[in-house]
Each structure stands twice: as structure tokens, then as C-alpha cells.
Amino acid sequence: MYGWLWRHLPGPAAVRVVTLVVAAFVVLAVCFLWVFPAVAPFMPFNETTVGE
């Protein structure tokens, strides 16, 4: 999968490394800002309130 990605990226190795680092940062940013806040309420360890 990552091998395929590497082979299909344009440019010399240095450019591909930069592209991949930027892509990884974007993926992490999307996770931190939208994905993780959305899934956190469904995590079992986040069941902290009791119904009265």
C-alpha cells in the first residue's frame, strides 16, 4: 500500500518525503479537529455520567 503510494508519487525522493510528511500532518490535523471529537463520546471509557 505505502510501497504503491511511494512508486506513484512524482518527483525525486526528497520531494516525495516532503509530500508524505505534509500528507501525514493533514491526516493528523483532520483527526484532531473533527474525527476524534466525533468518536470520543462513543468510547467506553467516556461513560462518566449516571442517570438520576
Partner 1 sequence: MSDPTPSEPQQAPTRSQARSRAKAARTRRTGHVVYGTLGVVGELLITAGVLLFAFLAWQLWWTDVEGNRAQAQVVRELERDPVPSPTASASGPVVAPPRHDDPPVLAEPPHATTFATIQVPRWDGEPERPISQGVDRATVLDVLGVGHYPGTAMPGGVGNFAVAGHRTTYAKPFNRIQELQVGDPLVVRTADTWYVYRVTSTEIVAPSNVSVIAPVPGDPTATPTERLITLTTCHPMFSARQRFIVHGTLDYWAPVADGTPAELLGGAS
16 burial via Cβ count (<10 Å: 0-12, 13-18, 19+): middle
34 binds partner 1 (CB under 8 A): no
Least distance from partner 1 to the Cβ atom of residue 28, Å: 6
6 binds partner 1 (CB under 8 A): no
Number of residues lying near partner 1 (CB under 8 A): 18
Extended strands (E) in 1-52? none
11: left (phi over 0), alpha (psi -120 to 50) or beta: left
Residue ranges in contact with partner 1 by CB under 8 A? 1-3, 28, 31-32, 36, 39-41, 43, 45-50, 52
